Amino acid sequence: MTKPEVLFSEEDIRVRIKAVGAEIGAAFEGRELAVIGLMKSCLVFMADMIRAIPLELTCHTLRVNSARGEGKGQARTEIMYSASIPYEAKDILLLDDIVDTGITLNFLLDHIREGKPRSLKVCALINKPGERKIDVHPDWSAFTLDKAPADRFLVGYGLDHAESHRGLPYIGTIPRPAPSAEGRKITIAPDSLA
């Protein structure tokens, strides 16, 4: 297994989470916050962020499946898991691990807005504005990569590659695996969302 190169150290992360948590606390001062984190890559970020936000809050999780087909227009995003989340008249903070194309984030924002929250803000662990395909942006981000290395893959602090490296206390990079000769295949779960 390749040892990741450190991009953001454990101390870098600690400092940024504390600063962003204070900013979010000031923005929502005096209100109770419903924090929604995306499973699984966001769980470590969520655990640290909810301790850094000096407010009363509730915690919820969503799991999303995003599939990009080979042809144009063959993109599909669906919610795979969602416990009962009370959106209506709530102040919602959505935590996302990486905002790159914006496709998944845009889908989630539309979904949550249907529930008529009082307010909806987004905090990303990593923002990659140079990869945006939809004009959607987080309100806060711990780190911004204006030009992410094209040949490297982000891992650690909950981020994984094939379920490896999630437990690292830092965010690192590993060489991006070469695509297989067959191309990328994605299996999409059945349409049943209970």
Which residues are catalytic, by number? 100
Cβ 171 vs Cβ 126: under 8 Å? yes
CA 194: distance to chain centroid? Answer: 23
Collapse the DSSP code of 77 into the 3-class scheme (helix H, G, I; strand E, B; otherwise coil) and give the result.
strand
Residue 175's DSSP bridge partners are 152
Neighbours of 54 (CB within 10 A): 13
Which residue, chain included where needed, has tokens 């905090």?
123
Backbone angles phi, psi at 31, to 5 degrees: -120, 155
Which amino acid appears at position 100 of this protein? Answer: D
